[in-house]
Homo-oligomer: A and B are copies of this chain.
Amino acid sequence: MGEKITSLDVARLAGVSQSAVSRVFTPGASASKKTIEKVRRAAAELGYRPNVLARAMVSGKSRMIGLVVAYLENYFYPEVVEKLSKALQEQGYHVLIFMASQTAENIDDVVEEILDYQVDGIVAASVAMGSELSARCRAAGVPVVLLNRTQDDERLSAVTSDNVAGGRKVAEYLVAGGHERIGYIAGWEGASTQRDREFGLRVGLEMAGKSLYAREVGDFREARAQEAARRMFAGRDRPDAVFAANDHMAFVVMDVLRYELGLSVPGDVSVIGYDDVPIAAWPAYDLTTVRQSATRMVAETVSILMDLIENPSADPRRIAIDAPFKERGSARKPGRQGQ
């Protein structure tokens, strides 16, 4: 066991030089029909396949993309992982995955580790990068694309949905539905998605001459969202509508309302989320939400990444894809004349 087949073995069997073998397996290199034939046959006989790592050493291209994810608990991210991985596979790239702890600082260590693997690019999903770190990536010539998060640093590419517009749509819908006391369950305050969605919501409310009635922080985490919901609905004059900064928290909120407090959704309280993860469509939740298409976001991410890899001097791009409102049954619907 363990006898590696190298290009030299193939070369010997085919009666050609090692370079010839290399050229046969290098797209764009020149080789005669006869040589190709001989090499292919020998390679097949020996079961030879080029060593990607060795190839990476000399070419400087590893064809690996580092993916940093903080938590797969929010089912938007498994979707991202799956689709990103598939999309990159189609481009001949593969994904090296790194789980970052929720703790903000650790991301930097993780990125260092990623860089050690000589990845050709990095996708950072739902995590922030220190400016020092992004500088290192730039120095190393490794493009970085933030996914579902933005940062002030203009030199970082980023793909998000249009969170501000999305938040505004929620406000408009709730106002049109005649809600009076609108609460907001915030995500982790450090996240741009959180800030933007809240900002959009507030702007939308203001434009209707209203303002936020209640606000609690759920940090995008299940347990925290649960506590947040309990706090928000503890007193009397409870909100008649809640916008949760993502679907994952919206489910928790619905569960608290229905199963702990015995309230009806949307009868007593309307609930709206953000993301439109698959579960949102399940009838048990039937969650009204804002659709953030993982497919489209991944497609944009891959596109940007490929551009940046091919043309390292290209400008970073920041994209906010359209986030359509998705009406379902968890929020009271505006009357016929509404909206």
Contact = CB atoms under 8 A, between A and B. Distances in A.
Contacts of A82: 71-72, 99
B312 A284 contact: no
B57 A86 contact: no
A334 interface: no
A141 interface: yes
Contacts of A64: 96, 117
A283 to B, nearest CB: 4
B72 A78 contact: yes
A34 to B, nearest CB: 26
A188 interface: no
Interface in A33-47: 47
Contact of A258 (B99, B138, B140, B283): B283
A312 B1 CA distance: 10
B2 A116 contact: no
A59 to B, nearest CB: 11
Interface in A1-28: 1-4
A113 interface: yes
Interface in A96-151: 96-99, 112-113, 115-118, 136, 138-141
B283 A116 contact: no
Contacts of A117: 52-53, 64, 94
Contact of A285 (B67, B86, B284): B284
Contact of A72 (B2, B57, B81, B259): B81
A275 to B, nearest CB: 15
A234 interface: no
Nearest to A79: B72
A51 B118 contact: yes
Contact of A53 (B57, B77, B113, B139): B57
A207 B51 CA distance: 55
Contacts of A96: 64, 94-97
Interface string A278-303: 11001111000000000000000000
Contact of A78 (B47, B75, B86): B75
A97 B85 contact: yes
A284 B256 CA distance: 10
Nearest to A69: B82
22 contacts: A1-B138, A1-B139, A2-B139, A2-B141, A3-B139, A49-B112, A51-B116, A52-B116, A53-B57, A72-B78, A72-B82, A77-B78, A81-B97, A85-B99, A89-B99, A94-B96, A94-B97, A96-B97, A251-B284, A255-B284, A259-B284, A279-B279
Given A78-B78, A254-B284, 19 more contacts: A1-B140, A1-B312, A2-B139, A2-B140, A4-B140, A52-B116, A53-B53, A53-B57, A64-B96, A71-B82, A72-B78, A73-B278, A75-B75, A81-B81, A81-B97, A85-B98, A94-B98, A96-B96, A279-B279
Closest 9 pairs (CB-CB, A-B): A259-B283, A78-B78, A72-B78, A2-B141, A284-B284, A52-B116, A72-B82, A85-B99, A255-B283
